[in-house]
Amino acid sequence: MNKIWLIMQREFLNRVQKKSFLIATILVPLIFPAVIGLMVLIFVKQEQSAGKTIVEVLDESGRMNLEDNDKFDFISIQGNLDQAKTAYMHTNDFALLYIPSFELNQPEGMTLYTRENPSIRKIDDLESILEKRLQDLKLEQFNIDKETLKSLRASISLKSVNLSDTGEEKDSNTGMLYILGFVLGVLIYMFVLIYGMQIMLGVIEEKTSKIVEVIVSSVKPFQLMMGKILGIASVGLLQFSIWAVLISVLSTATLNFFDLKMPQQQAMEQVMNQVNDPEMAEAMQQNNQVFEVLKSVNEIPYLYIVFNFAFYFLGGYLLYGALFAAVGSAVDSQQEAQQFTFPITLPLIIAYFGLFMFILNDPNSTASFWFSIIPFTSPVAMVGRLGYDPPLWQLILSQVLLVGGFIFTTWIAGRIYRVGILMHGTKVNYKVLAKWFMMKN
């Protein structure tokens, strides 16, 4: 145990003392928001500068009467199609829409002529405008006047409220939860991959520099492997904590700069305002600390999410880290490692896709359940579900299985590792790995 601790310390210090660690730790929290901000800026600029799209309309039926809206300007033109086409080629207009005379029941032959391939979004928008207009025409056919038409249209936006077991109503902000699940899931995916790779590279380095034979004459291969895995895990946790602190400090600072307030602060000020009695207000101010604590208890989901995120990060990392260590031990170079890293990362990639396809869209579906139970996918999947308040039994089951999962992979990896690190120049395939695994001590 003492030796695992020594190795862990060494691995930790080796990495933390590197300049690259310092740079990554400080820059990432700055770069990420900067990149996102920049993208949003560009997007907004583009939308603004884009202006309206001009579409020439040659309406032979004379019935469509398309109205301009905030996206499109429709210019009505006359003449036959060939003339219109030639005229269109001399303009900068986006498209030429040709509407032949048609039967209301069978509207056919509408054609959009463009110089470039139009985006699907624009086509969709145009189609829905045309469909709406056709619908209106049909309704008019049944002598329904415009006023009635207007009143037929209803516009609602669903307010979603979760009913908890205790019957308490909670506003659920689905959009927010989606983003939360997305960010947490992707974070776990990236952390496991990046730090898993670091384990593998570390093992390969020890193997190729031949130091490993000296080390294993002092410690058991399993101790070396565990020390390395845990050492890198602590680097990851440190880096993550620094990021969390930096990001929250930075975002608070930024929000303050723009004179916006964090939700907690707003809530607190509301409470303060409600207390009209100045004495009471003063008392409350004095009890501020108590208030803070009480408030944080009220906000248990944050604690709950942070705790569970840390759990799944560690669990997923340990599960995959052991496998990465085994791969590193089996090969002589990074290139050789590729044939083995793909099958290892495959479940992780599947989990990543599962996150987008099932979990975020329908966190309580059967697919989501299985994704968040199976240890190879649960770190990404369950973290994606955390915001949606998964049933406690599922959470516990998933965590127990994850612990079992990493004990299992560590056991397998340990058996391959102890043989692999001493083998040089062997051509390794799965059969060889199986043989090493079976080899008695």
Q: How far is CA 151 from the centre of its chain?
A: 41
- The only residue of 130, 134, 137, 216 in contact with other proteins, by rule CB under 8 A: 216
Closest CA to 403 of 381, 370, 384, 379: 379
Is 6 an interacting residue with respect to other proteins (CB under 8 A)? yes
Interface with other proteins: number of residues (CB under 8 A): 24
Is 122 an interacting residue with respect to other proteins (CB under 8 A)? no
| Burial label, 327 (beta-carbon count in 10 A; 0-12, 13-18, 19+) | buried
Chain residues 371-430 in contact with other proteins, contact rule CB under 8 A: 422, 424
64, 97 Cβ separation under 8 angstroms: no
Q: Which single residue is written with the structure tokens 């102890």? A: 418
- The only residue of 213, 282, 292, 299 in contact with other proteins, by rule CB under 8 A: 213
Is 150 an interacting residue with respect to other proteins (CB under 8 A)? no
Residue 240 has phi, psi (to 5 degrees) of -65, -45
Is 327 an interacting residue with respect to other proteins (CB under 8 A)? no
Choose the binding region for other proteins from 48-56, 84-92, 149-157, 216-224 (rule: CB under 8 A). 216-224
Is 219 an interacting residue with respect to other proteins (CB under 8 A)? yes
Is 209 an interacting residue with respect to other proteins (CB under 8 A)? yes
Choose the binding region for other proteins from 41-49, 97-105, 118-126, 207-215 (rule: CB under 8 A). 207-215
60, 101 Cβ separation under 8 angstroms: yes
- The only residue of 14, 53, 114, 394 in contact with other proteins, by rule CB under 8 A: 14
Is 10 an interacting residue with respect to other proteins (CB under 8 A)? yes
Strand-by-strand arrangement of the 53-59 sheet: 72-76, 53-59, 95-99, 111-114
Contacts with 177 (C-beta within 8 Å, 6 or more apart), sequence order: 387, 388
Choose the binding region for other proteins from 50-58, 187-195, 204-212, 231-239 (rule: CB under 8 A). 204-212
Is 217 an interacting residue with respect to other proteins (CB under 8 A)? yes
Q: Which residues bind other proteins (CB under 8 A)?
A: 3, 6-7, 10, 14, 205-206, 209-219, 422, 424, 435, 439-441
